[in-house]
Chain A
Amino acid sequence: MSNDLLAAGLTSWLIAAGLALTGRATFFTRIILGIGGGVLLVLVVTTLPEGSASVHTPLGIGVSGSDFRLSPDALWLLGFGLPGAIFATWLGTPARHQATWSFGVAMSLIGALGVFGLQDAVSFLVAWEIMSLGGAVMILGEDLAPEKGRSVLFMLGLLEAGSVALILAFLLLSQQTGSLSFSDFAAAAGAMPKAEQLFVGLLLLIGFGAKLGLLPFYEWFPGAYGAGSGATGALLSGAVLNAAFFGFSRGLTEWLPINHALPVSIPGIFIVAIGVLSAILSALYAFQQEDWRELLSLSSAENASIAVCLLGATMMFRQDGLTDLAGLAWTVALLHLAGHALAKGAMFLAADGVYRVVGDYMLVQRGILARNSWIFGLGALFAAMSLAAMPPLAGFVSEWYLFQVFFQGFHLSSLASRMTAALAGAGLALTVAIAFAIFIKLFGIGLLGRAERRVPQIAITTSVAVGVLGSLVLALAAGMPIWLTHLAPVSATFDSDAPSKMADGWLLVPLTAKFAFISPSKLVIVMPILALLPITLLLLSIRRRPRVVPVWYGGRDQNPQRAATTALTFSNALRTFYSFIYRPIIETERESPQDSNGKPYFTRRLVFTHDVAPIFGPYLFAPLEKLVISLAARLRIIQSGHLNFYLSLIGALLVIILLLVLL
């Protein structure tokens, strides 16, 4: 049954890809994509918690094909990436060229499915590349921004650097056993010397980190996302991000062995450190963005970094033999990305909705919320609240668990691990605070305010999409005790059933109720009841109509939109405070009229530039770019244009191959 559903989903996506290539009937293409997604969603719902059975596919190099199996955590992550993807394909891209975009969507989704399920190295890499290229095709196909080429090239460059690292890692791992299958990699790593294990871990970090947005790779996010649409962003931050995280987490936990000789898990500490630093940096840069997509993209990088932190914590706990805590950390990472995928999808689709009525993606107070249906408003509110980690939503649950995991770091035996846990807790506290500010900025400036000119209403389809996704976030949080029971087999790799210990009746506890507890399920009931009190007072007071007067500005009527807080105004204070990170660029130029004799007193025009400088761009990527270009310039000699030279090169190559075969 599950295999049939799988086949049906995959087939529909392939059909959709084919249809998209013809360039016609784009509406049907999207419908078929949506159907495929729906089918796979049903698969997920029915096959959790056991995981799907293994299917042997004829794909792959060599005589034998490759296995395809969706483990429980893969199903969980895929399942939560799909609603965003389904709604994104249903709404489509606001750009004019739907066909290329739909093809890119199909590529990304198929690639993501492959990444989730394929169990051998080569087919995994093929799926990985298809997923990356799918993202590029989506952005290029939309043609929304004039300078999209450069940012997409930058994205692909970094992703390919990651792919090279992955290839190298798989080569190293498969060298030991001679097999390309993932199940053999676990044994392979155990046979490797210590340093090589760490090197493989580092390669996996680079490879998957390029997609997840760990430092320094988060710098392609704003450019690439900013060249696409919200629907593209919803896909890239939902299913695709989850797939990358799945690959990374499986690689680290199943392939890298626990080194019982050392008291501390070096990869664990390193990954926690990288995760925390990435989270802080991407959160800080996300806060300074003024475009819906760029802000949300860096926020995705931040959330992925938080999940990576939890992965590092898993490794640290596992090293110490604290299997329950390891399972807890592992499960929390899954919960975090689940809530994130839904909420981010909702916000990206809301961005698209705004774009369709206003024409740009800039964060400007235009009074959109006041003019649109309450379904849209509630959905967007729940999504923003979840991403800002406010109770009673899913983001709050996962952030709370995140801190519980690090608070329990005192169980760790070595000082280094405990220090890491403490510092990570502090760094994550900073991140969470900035994340809160980010979503206040997004929701407040993007959706609130009063507009001078009335903006048209957002289409009902977008409102429904955002509303449903937002309420799914709430349902995720409120029903968490129920979903956790379905996740029990997830942490079986750690010999623990942490998920079942995470819920105690309707309370959510970090393995034991004595430490701490929260209860979003109860909050969801209690909060509306508490709200009855002010609502009743309001209804009672309506009998006496209050006298309504204009907003008090100081005696004069002011244009509310002109006097409203802007995106830059909101973030400039933090920019000044963290100027050692941002290194802000401030330029003000005053132009004087002709008849002031060159004296700068009578300003006719004031032109200002205020911007932040990225960290890795000028110091890492620009020098690398220069290096590559200079190398390429040097290698130009090969392109001499002489036919004889090319023939001699071919001849030399043949000789080398002959020699290699003979030796």
Chain B
Amino acid sequence: MPLWTLFGLRKGKATTVWPKRGQENGQEGVRGMPRIEPQRCEDGCTQCAAVCPTEAIRVHADQTGAARLEVDYGRCIVCQLCVEACPTDAVTASSDWAFGTCNRSDLVLSGDFHIVPKVTEPESRHGFHRSLHIRHVDAGSCNGCESELQALNNPFYNLHRLGIFFTPSPRFADLLLVTGPVTYAMREPLQRAYEAMPEPRWVMAVGTCAVSGGVAGGGYACGNGLEGVLPVDLYLPGCPPNPAALIEALLMFLERAPQRVKGGRLVE
């Protein structure tokens, strides 16, 4: 009969010290959102917009008639097709996966994607900085986001050390974390989960499907993410966002880390 306790003690600490210090976030080699520098584009080239599956990159003629590149990272599914299609180095691969923002408009690099600006500021997270309880609702995801969310509680990331917990019931949750493009059948259960949360409460859209519908959005059975369904306070695109991105977004939301994404660019 093996002694599991002894086994665990001998294994030692498997948790990374990141984000307290160091860079050991477990994402070595993992690619994030492509970096786009429109000024390096070839004239008249629309390759990236043509291959983008979710129309995150568009080419529109502005008032002067010149073609403008419009990029909305809220729709990016990190497929890297645009990186392969670009003939110059206007679109380059990067490891910018930490793309969490509080405003939807911060995910837009350029262009008018008809983003409705937020009417009211979300309530202050004062008092929740070191203790946040999250209720997760799967509104039709592909299970990739769930896999990364489940990984948050493995010994490497160990979300509990940051004071963030997943709860079984919305009755004592602070944050509603939604994945998936909100299928027709999950719309009502999602609403009920939101109603069942006592105030103050916030909503987080995890994954490109929840932010803007992703590849699955639209059609006969799906909506286009959480816009128009629930008031969202935190956006994290990615397909799926990895656990380190989730941690960064949550810490940013709890005002324990600065927001690094402004105007569609990840600043250091």
The answer to A–B direct touch (Cβ < 8 A) is yes
Contact of A552 (CB < 8 Å), options: B190, B196, B199: B196
Q: How far is the CA of A549 from the CA of B169 in the complex (A)?
A: 14
- Could you tell me the distance between the alpha carbons of A549 and B198 in the complex, rounded to whole angstroms? 10
The secondary-structure label for the interface of chain B is helix
Residues of A within 8 A of B193 (CB): 555
* B104 CB to nearest A CB, Å: 26
Contact code string B144-171 (vs A, CB < 8 Å = 1, else 0):
0000000000000000000000000111
| Residue of B137, B171, B188, B195 touching A556 (CB-CB under 8 A) | B188
Neighbouring B residues of A556 by C-beta, 8 Å: 188-189, 192
Contact with B along A531-556 (1 / 0, CB 8 A): 00000000000000001011010111
| A554-B170 contact, Cβ under 8 Å, with A549-B195, A549-B196 | no
B188 contacts A552, C-beta separation under 8 Å: no
B183-228 at interface with A (beta carbon < 8 Å) = 186, 188-190, 192-193, 195-196, 198-199
Q: Are B189 and A552 closer than 8 Å at their CB atoms?
A: no
CB distance from A303 to the nearest CB of B (A): 41
Considering the complex, which residues of chain A in the window 455-507 have a beta carbon less than 8 Å from any beta carbon of chain B?
none
Give Cα distance in the complex from A550 to B186, angstroms.
17
**A555: contacting residue among B192, B198, B199, CB under 8 A:** B192
> Closest residue of chain A to B197, judged by CB?
A549
Chain A window 103-135, contacts with chain B (Cβ cutoff 8 Å), 1 for yes, 0 for no: 000000000000000000000000000000000
Residues of B within 8 A of A552 (CB): 169-171, 192, 196
* A642 CA / B77 CA spacing, docked (Å): 105
Q: How many whole Å from A230's CB to the nearest CB in chain B?
A: 40
Q: Is the CB of A555 within 8 A of B190?
A: yes
What is the bound-complex CA distance between A549 and B199, given in angstroms? 13
Mark each residue of chain A from 543 to 583: 1 if its CB lies under 8 Å from any CB of chain B, else 0: 00001011010111000000000000000000000000000
DSSP majority for the A interface?
loop
User: Closest residue of chain B to A550, judged by CB?
Assistant: B192
Nearest CB to that of B186 among chain A residues? A555
Number of interchain pairs (Cβ within 8 Å)? 22
A555 to B137, CA, bound (A): 10
A555 with B171: CB separation less than 8 A = no
Q: Who on chain A is nearest to B198 by CB?
A: A547
- A367 to B161, alpha carbons, bound, how many Å? 45
Closest to A551 in B: B196
A120 to chain B, nearest CB (A): 70
Closest residue of chain A to B169 (Cβ to Cβ) is A552
**How many angstroms from the CA of A117 to the CA of B198 in the assembled complex?**
67
Chain B residue numbers with a CB within 8 Å of A549 are: 192, 195-196
| Complex Cα gap A137–B198 (Å) | 61
Least CB distance, A190 to chain B, in whole angstroms: 65
What is the bound-complex CA distance between A549 and B201, given in angstroms?
15
Closest CB of chain B to A244's CB: distance in Å?
52
Nearest CB of chain A from residue B193's CB, rounded to whole Å: 6
- How far apart sit A238 and B190, CA to CA, in the bound complex (Å)? 56
Kindly list chain A residues whose C-beta atoms are within 8 Å of the C-beta of B170: 552
Closest B residue to A549 by beta carbon equals: B195
A554 contacts B189, C-beta separation under 8 Å: yes
Contact residues, B95-147 vs A (CB, 8 A): 137
What B residues does A555 contact at CB under 8 A?
A: 137, 186, 188-190, 192-193
A550: chain B residues at CB < 8 Å are 192
> Shortest beta-carbon distance, B47 to chain A, in Å?
44
The residues of B that contact A554 with a CB separation of less than 8 Å are 189
Shortest CB distance B177–A (Å): 15
Looking at the assembled complex, report how far the CB atom of A508 sits from the nearest CB atom of chain B, in whole angstroms.
43
With A and B bound together, what is the CA distance between A556 and B189 in angstroms?
6
Which residue of B171, B190, B192, B198 has the most chain A CB atoms within 10 A of its CB atom? B192
A161 shortest CB reach to chain B, Å: 56
A549 to B: closest C-beta gap in Å: 5
B170 to chain A: closest residue by CB: A552
Alpha-carbon distance A252/B26, docked complex (angstroms): 82
For the complex, give the distance between the alpha carbons of A550 and B189 in Å: 12
Considering the chains assembled together, what is the distance between the CA atoms of A554 and B189 in angstroms?
7
Measured between beta carbons, the chain A residues less than 8 angstroms from B190 are 555
Chain B residues positioned under 8 Å from A547 (CB to CB): 198-199
- Name, among A547, A550, A552, the residue most crowded by chain B CB atoms within 10 Å (CB to CB): A552
Residues of A within 8 A of B169 (CB): 552
Q: List, in ascending order, chain A residues with CB within 8 A of B188's CB.
A: 555-556
Chain A residues, Cβ within 8 Å of B192: 549-550, 552, 555-556
How far, in Å, is A489 (CB) from chain B's closest CB?
A: 60
A556 CB to nearest chain B CB (Å): 6
User: How far apart are A6's CB and chain B's nearest CB, in angstroms?
Assistant: 63
Contacts of B186 in A (CB 8 A): 555
Bound-state Cα–Cα, A550 to B195, Å: 9
Which 5 A-B pairs have CB atoms at the shortest separation, nearest pair first? A555-B189, A552-B196, A549-B195, A555-B192, A549-B196
Sample (17) of A-B pairs whose CB atoms are under 8 Å apart: A547-B198, A547-B199, A549-B192, A549-B196, A552-B169, A552-B170, A552-B171, A552-B192, A552-B196, A554-B189, A555-B137, A555-B186, A555-B188, A555-B189, A555-B190, A556-B189, A556-B192
- Residue numbers of A with Cβ under 8 A of B are 547, 549-550, 552, 554-556
Other than the known A554-B189, A555-B188, what 5 A-B pairs have Cβ atoms closer than 8 Å? A547-B199, A549-B192, A552-B192, A555-B137, A555-B189
